[in-house]
Amino acid sequence: MVAIPSPPTPAPSDADLRRISAQTAHELQAVCREHGWALHITAGEPMSGNGYVEFPPLRVDVAQQIIAGLRRLLTTRCEECQAIKRRRAQALREKDTPTARAMAVAMGRHLRAAH
Ligand SMILES: [Zn+2]
């Protein structure tokens, strides 16, 4: 089998990177605001072909609120997560290794897709 080389994609220009950075900073600021975190996030200067967004220095209490908010997201009960965990636990109790393994794979797939 011969690998067909894909055509080289042109590197984004600094103007493209600035536009993407500004857009991303805006979106990040908007989603933070929805969580009650009034952060002024700005576009950074492109460097080595990458775009950047910049956070302001965060007060410790604000950083702790962000940590708590992200932790809540991780532990929010999800029906699909619960169902997969239940099936895996049952398979482990019944020493059904293939099903337990399949549930672990299903969980990884679900976490990537949904969380
Ligand atoms: Zn889930």
Domain ranges of the chain: 14-57, 79-114
> Distance from the CA of 55 to the center of ligand 1, in angstroms?
29
Count of residues in the chain: 115
* Mean pLDDT, rounded, of the chain: 88
Max avg pLDDT among 10-14, 44-48, 69-73: 44-48
> Distance from the CA of 47 to the center of ligand 1, in angstroms?
36
3-class DSSP assignment, residue 26: helix
- Residue 87, judged by CB atoms within 10 A of its CB (0-12, 13-18, 19+), counts as middle
| Beta strand segments in 1-115, E | 42-43, 53-54
> pTM for the whole thing?
0.55
The pLDDT confidence band at residue 2, using thresholds 50, 70 and 90, is low
Rounded-to-integer distance, Cα 94 and Cα 84, Å: 15
> Distance from the CA of 18 to the center of ligand 1, in angstroms?
35
> Distance from the CA of 90 to the center of ligand 1, in angstroms?
18
Query: What's the pLDDT score for residue 115?
Result: 72
